[in-house]
Amino acid sequence: MEIYEIPAAFQSKIRLTIVSALYQGPLNFRDLKELTGASDGNLGSHLAKLVEEGYVNTVKSFIGGKPNTAASLSDIGRQKFEEYVTLLDRIVNEGKKPEGEK
Amino acid sequence: MKSLKKNEAVEHINVIKKAIDATSISMVSLKKIFIFWAVIIAVAVLGSLVPALMMLPRGETVGSLLLQQGITSNRVIPGIPTLHLRYPPALLIRIAAMLAAFFSLHIVLRKEKSKNFAKRLFWIWLSCIIVNLLGAALQTPPSFGPQPRTEIVKALMLPFVNMSPSTGLYQIQFFCFSFSFVLFVTVMFTNIKMSGYLSVLYLIAGLIVKFLPVNIMKIRPALIIFNVLWILPFVVMALALFLKQRNRQSV
């Protein structure tokens, strides 16, 4: 991944938070809502975008008669996230000379 | 596509770090579990007052009873009217508390897709609470109708400990040490310092009950039992609020 190849998924802080959180394991909609502090509609649209791009998978079900949406990171999402973290690391450390080098 | 500057990269790293910190120990699940348990324990403890009220002899009040047992002074609790009902109270409340614990476990594990460590922690807390409940249930046979004062005070101390001078102190020690251990395990799992401080607090409480002669301290055992018992829901709730606060700060 190059600097000019940053996927749209990582350009929004909420989406970045969602992907980072899901990197740890699946979470449901309520957990993500609490984590991001976003409203239902806002979170729903960000999740839909991530699903559309193939980064996140969602499973909708009913628990105790109430709807429940569980989200998890797809293999592509995981791979892209790891690449993005590597890219961030490269940008932050850019220009830093290795130790001992004059 | 959009290019990224260094300061934006640092900002994004911070966002990622905070999100991972907030979820790496499944804070969301833990907070829910602790709040849930605080409610269950509070209901069980408050429920124990009902059989005590039911068993009071005619003309007695809870306030006067607590006063006679040295649990309170007459300035703390004013007289509360009694109910004079005849029911088997103590065991039913304990069984109900234990059933509630099992059903709550089933519901929480079904609803929450919590991580393994959160489940393990939940099991440890559950085991500790059930063992304490069971210990109390096994030591006191079921009782029916109006009871002598000692039985009434036992019911007041439900669901964890008994008032009996011979067994009560051992049970308080077990209560303090077991919860100290559970809180310590919580620190190991979550690195929550507050849980560590509470663990030390319960350890000290247990050691005081074990080694300090109660009569020298001029404190009735009932007073210690009462305080230790009533503090527990607040301990669990404090942990839950701490987790909630930490979760909010981290994102």
Q: Could A91 and B6 be called an inter-chain contact, meaning their C-beta atoms sit closer than 8 Å?
A: yes
Q: In what order do the strands lie in the sheet with A27-28?
A: A27-28, A66-73, A56-63
**Mean of the per-residue pLDDT values for chain B?**
64
Quick one: average pLDDT of B35-60?
63
- Choose among B251, B12, B20: nearest CA to A10: B12
| Segments in chain B forming alpha helices (H) | 6-24, 27-47, 49-55, 62-68, 90-111, 116-139, 149-156, 165-190, 193-211, 214-217, 221-250
Q: Which residue has the tokens 């849930």?
A: B36
| Chosen from A88, A89, A92, A93 to mutate, greatest number of chain B CBs within 10 A | A88
Least confident of A73-87, B11-25, B130-144, B200-214: B130-144
The tens digit of pLDDT for each residue in B148-195 reads: 555 555 555 544 444 444 455 666 777 788 888 888 887 777 667 778
Question: Tell me, what's the ipTM?
Answer: 0.81
Tell me if B251 and A17 make a contact (CB, 8 A cut-off).
yes
Q: CB of B197 within 8 A of CB of B216?
A: no
User: Would you call B20 and A21 a contact, using CB atoms and an 8 Å cutoff?
Assistant: yes
**Closest by Cβ to A70, choosing from B3, B113, B251:** B113
Cβ neighbours of A91 in B, within 8 Å: 4-6, 9
**What pLDDT band is residue A70 in, cutting at 50, 70 and 90?**
confident
Q: Please check the confidence at residue B242 and state whether its pLDDT lies above 70.
A: yes
